[in-house]
Structure 1
Amino acid sequence: MTAKASNHKDTYRAVAVFLALMGILYLADRLIGFASHGLPWVMQKDTMLLYAAVIFLWFKSDKSVGLVLAGIWLIQNIGLVVSLLGQMSGYLLPAALLLIGILLYWLSSR
């Protein structure tokens, strides 16, 4: 019962930090305008998903929500990841996906 209460507390804390961060970013965007300073990516929807993933990974003891959000961000930005990896992405990305899939399958069957 205590672990479940702790889990809710972690969730509330992560949501509170995320909402506070979004409020600060929206206020800063209204005041200074990130796009006019060459930073339009700060307020993009997929970047906000990344913010949420990092916050949930940081503040929650159960990392599943943060990992799912990070995975969704990764899928949405696969072009960016492939371009950052360069020529290695032809081998590294499929190998990483294969290893992650095997690991998740193994963990789910234990």
Structure 2
Amino acid sequence: MAVKVSSQKDTYKATAVFLVLMGVLYLLDKWIDFSDYNLDWVMQKDTMLLYAAVTFLWFKSDKSVGLILAGIWLIQNIALVTALLGQVSTYLLPLTLLLIGVLLYWLSSK
């Protein structure tokens, strides 16, 4: 029972921090307009998903929500990831996806 209460508190704390962060970013965007400084990416929807992922990974002891959010962000931004990896991504990305898939399947069937 104590674990569930702690997990619930972690969820509330992570959600609160994320909402405060979004509020601060929206206010800053209204005051200084990030696009004037070529910082359009700060307020993009997929970047907000990354903020949520990092917040949940940081403040929540159960990392599953943060990992799922980070995975969704990664899938949405696969072009950015492959561009950053360059030529290595030709083999590294498919191999990584295969390894993660096999590992998850193996863990789920234990």
Whole-Å Cα distance in 2 between the matches of residues 64 and 103 of structure 1? Answer: 16
Structure 1 unmatched ranges of 5 or more: none
How many angstroms does 1:105 deviate by? 1.1
Q: TM-score, normalised by structure 2?
A: 0.98
Q: Which runs of 4+ in 1 moved over 3 A?
A: none
RMSD over aligned Cα atoms: 0.6
Across the two proteins, how many residue pairs are aligned to each other?
110
Residue 71 of structure 2 corresponds to: 71
Q: Give the aligned residue type for 1:100.
A: I
What's the TM-score once normalised by structure 1's chain length? Answer: 0.98
| Deviation of the 1:57 alpha carbon | 0.6
Shift of 1:13: 0.3
Instruction: Identify the residue that residue 3 of structure 1 maps to in structure 2.
Output: 3
Structure 1 residue matching 2:62: 3-state secondary structure: coil
Task: Please give the secondary structure, in 2, of the residue aligned with 1:41.
Answer: helix
Distance (whole Å) between structure 2 residues aligned to residue 94 and residue 25 of structure 1: 35
Residues 74-89 of structure 1 mapped to structure 2, 5 A cutoff: 74-89=74-89
Distance 1:98 1:29 in 2: 40
